[in-house]
Amino acid sequence: MSLQMIRTGFAAFMFLAGASPVVATDTPALPDFVANAMAQASPEAMAEYRRKLKEWEEAQAPFEAYWDSIAEKRRGRNAKRRAGQQITLDDYVLTQPPVYTGPKRPIDPSAPERPPRKSIPMVPDLIQAAVEHFQFSPQMPANEIDFKRAYARVAAAAGLTKEQAVRVYSFETGGNGNYDMQSGYRGPGTRPISTAIGYNQLLTTNSVELMAEQGDALLKALRDKAAALSGLPRKAMEEKIAVMKKMVAFARSVPDTWSDHEKLANTEKGWALHAMVLDIDVGPHLQTHKLLTSVIFARAKGHTRPLTAAELEMMNLTGDGTGLDMVTMPQAMREQVPTSNFFQRGGYERNPVASRNNTVAKLLAITNERMDVNSAKPGAQELAAAF
Q: What is the pLDDT of residues 56-68, one digit of tens each?
A: 888 888 888 899 9
Residue 29 has pLDDT above 60, yes or no: no
In the DSSP assignment, the letter for residue 341 is G
Q: Which one-letter amino acid corresponds to residue 138?
A: P
Write the DSSP assignment of 123-160 as a string of letters: HHHHHHHHHHHHS------SSHHHHHHHHHHHHHHHT-
Same domain, 159 and 287: yes
Residue 7 has pLDDT above 90, yes or no: no
Write the DSSP assignment of 90-136 as a string of letters: GGS--SPPPPP-SPPPPP-TTSPPPPPPPPPP-HHHHHHHHHHHHS-
CA dist 275 and 269 (Å) reads 10
Q: Which one-letter amino acid corresponds to residue 382?
A: E
Q: How many separate domains does the chain show?
A: 3
Write the DSSP assignment of 220-266 as a string of letters: HHHHHHHHT--HHHHHHHHHHHHHHHHHHHHHTTS-SSHHHHHHHHT
What's residue 26's pLDDT?
41
Host domain of residue 86: 31-117
Task: Lowest mean pLDDT of 31-45, 46-60, 298-312, 344-358, name the range.
Answer: 31-45
Question: Mean of the per-residue pLDDT values for the chain?
Answer: 86
Residue 361 has pLDDT above 90, yes or no: yes
What's residue 16's pLDDT?
31
Coil, helix or strand at residue 357: coil
Write the pLDDT tens digit of every residue in 238-250: 999 999 999 999 9
Query: C-alpha angle 50/54/56, rounded to 5°?
Result: 115
Query: C-alpha angle 340/343/348, rounded to 5°?
Result: 75
- Residue 349's pLDDT band, with cuts at 50, 70 and 90, is confident
Q: Which one-letter amino acid corresponds to residue 246?
A: K
Write the pLDDT tens digit of every residue in 255-288: 999 999 999 999 999 999 999 999 999 999 999 9
Regarding pTM above 0.85, the answer is no
Measured in degrees and rounded to the nearest 5, phi and psi for residue 202 equal: -75, 135
Write the pLDDT tens digit of every residue in 173-183: 999 999 999 99
Output b/e per residue, 249-271; b: 16+ Cβ within 10 A: ebbbeeeeeeebbbebbeeebbb
Distances (CA, A) of 21 to 11, 18, 38: 17, 9, 22
Measured in degrees and rounded to the nearest 5, phi and psi for residue 98 equal: -65, 150
Residue 6 has pLDDT above 80, yes or no: no
What are 182's strand-pairing partners? Answer: 197
Same domain, 169 and 20: no
Write the pLDDT tens digit of every residue in 203-214: 999 999 999 999
Between the ranges 7-16, 36-45, 84-93, where is the mean pLDDT highest?
A: 84-93
Same domain, 3 and 60: no
Residue 22 has pLDDT above 80, yes or no: no
Same domain, 97 and 161: no
Residue 36 has pLDDT above 60, yes or no: no
Same domain, 319 and 349: yes
Residue 71 has pLDDT above 60, yes or no: yes
Same domain, 38 and 146: no
Same domain, 6 and 94: no
- Final residue belonging to a domain, choices 92, 117, 142: 117
Task: Lowest mean pLDDT of 1-15, 152-166, 281-295, name the range.
Answer: 1-15
> Comparing C-alpha atoms, which of 322, 205, 315 is closest to residue 256?
205
- Residue 40's pLDDT band, with cuts at 50, 70 and 90, is low
Same domain, 126 and 70: no
CATH number at 276 reads 1.10.530.10
- Final residue belonging to a domain, choices 91, 117, 143: 117
Task: Give percent of the chain with pLDDT exceeding 70.
Answer: 89
Same domain, 98 and 223: no
- Residue 113's pLDDT band, with cuts at 50, 70 and 90, is confident
In the DSSP assignment, the letter for residue 315 is H
What's residue 30's pLDDT?
43
- Residue 372's pLDDT band, with cuts at 50, 70 and 90, is very high
Write the pLDDT tens digit of every residue in 311-322: 999 888 888 888
Same domain, 220 and 326: yes
Helices and strands in the chain: count of H runs, count of E runs? 19, 0
Residue 134 has pLDDT above 90, yes or no: yes
CA dist 188 and 268 (Å) reads 23
- Final residue belonging to a domain, choices 117, 152, 173: 117
Write the DSSP assignment of 167-200 as a string of letters: HHHHHHHTT---TT-BTT--STT---SSS-BTTT
Residue 228 has pLDDT above 70, yes or no: yes
Same domain, 82 and 136: no
Same domain, 213 and 359: yes
